[in-house]
Amino acid sequence: MNTPDTKYKKYDDKSTSEEDGPLLFFNYHEFTVDDYNRMKYESETEGKALVVTHFPNNDTTRWSDEYANTRIVRVPRIFNTSDESDIVPQFSSYILGNEPAAFTEKGKAPATKFSPIGVYQGEMFGSSSRTPLVPGLISEDCFLEIIANVNRYLKDAFNPYSFWNFKDNVLDMFSGTLYSKVFCAFIRESHCKRKLDDLERYVSQEVNLKLLKDAPGVKVISPRRTGYLSVCITCFYRSPWDSNIAGLGLFRPSTMAAIS
């Protein structure tokens, strides 16, 4: 059974972690569920926990159609790609479900795509860490390109060793923070803010417009809205009669029943 016990042990001190082997990265947003409605035969799902890999879209307003009709896939923060990862937010560039400690079916090769086996809270999930997003809705290259660019913009913005950030801080120090309160507010924004605005423009104008053409229904949420805590990518539910949306897409269980 793919249980979370080995990934979620409490590490009290270094010696404990060394005895348990090296630390492996995984998507900490996912969780497992044992009690679910099975979609396949009992023998195929016996001993398998459902891995919840997509979530309600809490990045929109509560009573909107988008909240009712979209799901979100979350790309987690990663901390071993930069020494200053507490200052510079960086996101995992592993394909979702391909992380070193991702859930896979015991005794089988790692899953290559999202294969639902059960229904939980009215949504379909599989028994591995694979999400419907990649490669179902967007290609691996597209996903990696988006994450790499987001990471690059964030590194430019928050790099503490950047001359421009150093200059902004020194001017702030000698002006009693009037530089950031007055000059940056009314004349020219700080380097960090400008780079973060560039990131917002990249996501809203380059990425989302491209996805509108290539993968309708898939959209990257504004990173500032999520507090740079995760990259949230929404997926619209697909109508079974909609031939414009390619890929596996997401089906509501009720629509699957209608098809079958």
Question: Which residues ranging from 16 to 55 are in contact with another protein (CB under 8 A)?
Answer: 17-18, 22-26, 28-33, 52, 55
Q: What number of other Cβ atoms are within 10 A of residue 195's Cβ?
A: 21
CA-CA distance, 137 to 131, in Å (whole number)?
A: 10
Residue 77 C-beta: closest distance to another protein, Å: 6
Helix (H) or strand (E) holding 236: strand 231-236
Starting from the edge strand earliest in sequence, which strands make up the sheet with 50-52, in order? 31-33, 50-52, 123-126, 116-120, 37-38
Shortest reach from residue 255's CB to another protein, in Å: 19
Residues 119-138 that bind another protein (CB under 8 A): 121
Which residue from 225, 239, 240, 246 is in contact with another protein, where contact means CB under 8 A? 225
CA 239 to chain centre: 24
Asked if 222 touches another protein (CB under 8 A), the answer is no
- In this chain, which stretch among 102-110, 127-135, 157-165, 238-246 interacts with another protein, using CB under 8 A? 157-165
Binding-residue pattern over the window 83 to 122 for another protein, x denoting contact by CB under 8 A: xxxxx-x-------------------------------x-
Chain position carrying tokens 């979620």: 8
Work out which of 173, 182, 246, 258 binds another protein, going by CB under 8 A: 173
Q: Are 38 and 45 in contact (CB under 8 A)?
A: yes
Q: How far apart are CA 164 and CA 41, in angstroms?
A: 61
CB 242 within 8 A of CB 215: no
Site for another protein, residues 55 to 84, rule: CB under 8 A: 55-56, 58-64, 67, 74, 76-80, 83-84
Cβ closest to another protein, residue 4 vs residue 216:
4
Shortest Cβ 28–another protein spacing (Å): 5
Residue 24 Rama label (left phi>0; alpha psi -120 to 50; beta):
beta
Region near another protein per CB under 8 A, out of 6-14, 108-116, 128-136, 208-216: 6-14
Residue 56 host element (H or E): strand 55-56
